[in-house]
Structure 1
Amino acid sequence: MKFLDKPFIPNKEVSLILVDKRIPKNIEDVLKNKKIEILKTCKCSEVYDAIKYHPDIVLCYLGEKNIVVAPNVYEYYEDMLNPFGFNVIKGNEFLKSKYPQNISYNVAIFGKYAVHNFKYTEENILNYINEKKLKKIDVKQGYSKCSICIVDENSIITSDEGIHKEVIKHNIDSLLIKKGHIDLFGMNYGFIGGCTGLISENELAFLGDVKKHVNYLKIKDFLDKKGKKIVILGENKLIDLGSIIPIMTRKE
């Protein structure tokens, strides 16, 4: 297996992902049938129940084998990821229950861009963004990765109007969809970024049946234009599990 060079966007078939421990068995089985190995998260007790197992809340993959992890759960991820050869970096921000003290690692990085409320971004992640000279797009929505489905290096899907308005100023192709229609444990609704993830250079996977989403046809049309095939991982309504985070691809 090979490390993803860049966050979230693989250039080959994905072989290893991070995902919420509460992933439904039917979705897990589909991923395993695709020969994708699943690393399940642990509970971060300090944040509220709906997101306590979400990978995009507690860590940020920077590419080139580097992963920044919140100190709350650092030992668990160090033990799990070290055998694969990852450089597991202990983050400087301890996560707490209330917003904005739980958003430091929830950064959307794609192509030459990074989207977040940069007032609260964890220091190691911010240093990476600055070193790589990524364009920082500052938004009010601190749950940036939750809110952004990364399609390619210049395209996203979001239901957050504030994010949509900011990214299009930078010539990013953004599809704005309706809020809701996505499940999230105990909450009114979840987010499109949290129920998606790229599993190859041309496949976008959905945690649940995207055909049940009110904007399915708009989503399909957008992805068709981007050359991305929809992979439906379950028969039920979409569920926000804090993103599918691809971290390794096949060598062949």
Structure 2
Amino acid sequence: MAGNNDSLLIVDPRTPDNEVSEIEALGFKVVAAECLDFLYEGVKGHPDLQFAPVGETLICHRGISLEKLKELQGHGIECITSFAALALPYPGHVILNASIGGGALIHRTDITDGALLEEAIRQGLRLIDVRQGYGRCSTSFIGNGCFATNDSGVAAALSENGFRVFISPYGDVELEGFDYGFLGGCLSLVVTGSDRLVLVSGNLNEYVMGRELREFIISSGAIPIEVGKGRLKDRGSVLQVFKKRN
């Protein structure tokens, strides 16, 4: 299975080396996000708080270091910085945390950063307004019109807009410093050639609805790839970012 030379994957910098190696073995170039010490300890390196890929454009949080920005641009990534800076308390740190896929942006749009909204509208995405500020954390696009989520309100909105939805209750996902993490943070759609892969941070056999989730992913036409061992872990997802074509 060959990787995609037209993209790179952004991961939490605290992802264990063995898991990064498993991802790289699929043929992908992996780049680490940064640890932002002003955020909660458990999420300070989560890519889905720091970035939002929209087509071939990457919206980066306003406080990204010059070194990291140059690294991404050096790989051929077109970067736009957010209008606002990430900040605590909620919702200041989730302004980029929209779930994007299937031609839609799903988020609490009254808090979505303006740069992300403008780019989404420019690219013709549908804006699906929900009350969940943790849009990407709670909800992952699986591809082929399918999403997986913990949030019943998001699930209802997606269903009303014609998407297939897998929903499971909150809980049974590990996240440091919290009682539990989000399902979306465990699932990451990546595309390589004609293959659609869903990277799963952990073992589906150890998830309360793991068998059902595996079947849903496969029914969508994707291949579940379990990365690491043990219970599912919210790592802020792995973000695939496509290089700008000439």
Structure 2 length-normalised TM: 0.91
User: Cα distance, 1:153 vs. partner?
Assistant: 4.4
Between the aligned partners of 1:39 and 1:120, the Cα distance in structure 2 is 28
RCO (CA 8 Å, sep 6+): is it higher in 1 or 2?
1
- What amino acid is the match of 1:99? Y
Between the aligned partners of 1:27 and 1:247, the Cα distance in structure 2 is 19
Pair 1:238-2:232 in alignment: yes
Pair 1:106-2:100 in alignment: no
- Residue-by-residue CA offset, 1:176-233 (whole Å, 9 max, x unaligned): 1121111111111111111121233322110111221010111122122111111111
Pair 1:206-2:200 in alignment: yes
Structure 2 gaps of 5+ residues are none
RMSD, matched Cα:
1.8
Return closer, same or farther for 1:248/1:90 CA change in 2, 3 Å cut-off: closer
SS of 2:116's partner is helix
Structure 1 gaps of 5+ residues are 1-11
- What amino acid is the match of 1:232? E
Kindly indicate whether the alpha-carbon contact (under 8 Å) linking 2:55 and 2:242 is maintained by their aligned counterparts in 1.
Answer: no
Pair 1:52-2:44 in alignment: yes
Between the aligned partners of 2:46 and 2:72, the Cα distance in structure 1 is 17
- What amino acid is the match of 1:241? R
After TM superposition, the structure 1 = structure 2 runs for residues 88-237 of structure 1, keeping only pairs within 5 Å, are 88-200=79-191, 201-237=195-231
Query: Counterpart of 2:17?
Result: 25
- What amino acid is the match of 2:92? Q
Pair 1:62-2:54 in alignment: yes
Structure 1 length-normalised TM: 0.89
- Residue-by-residue CA offset, 1:97-152 (whole Å, 9 max, x unaligned): 21111111111111221100000111111011222232211111101001112111
- What amino acid is the match of 2:40? Y
Q: Which 10-residue stretch deviates more, 100-109 or 69-78?
A: 69-78
- What amino acid is the match of 2:164? D
Percent identical among aligned pairs is 24
User: Cα distance, 1:32 vs. partner?
Assistant: 2.1
Kindly indicate whether the alpha-carbon contact (under 8 Å) linking 2:42 and 2:177 is maintained by their aligned counterparts in 1.
Answer: yes
Aligned residue pairs, count: 238
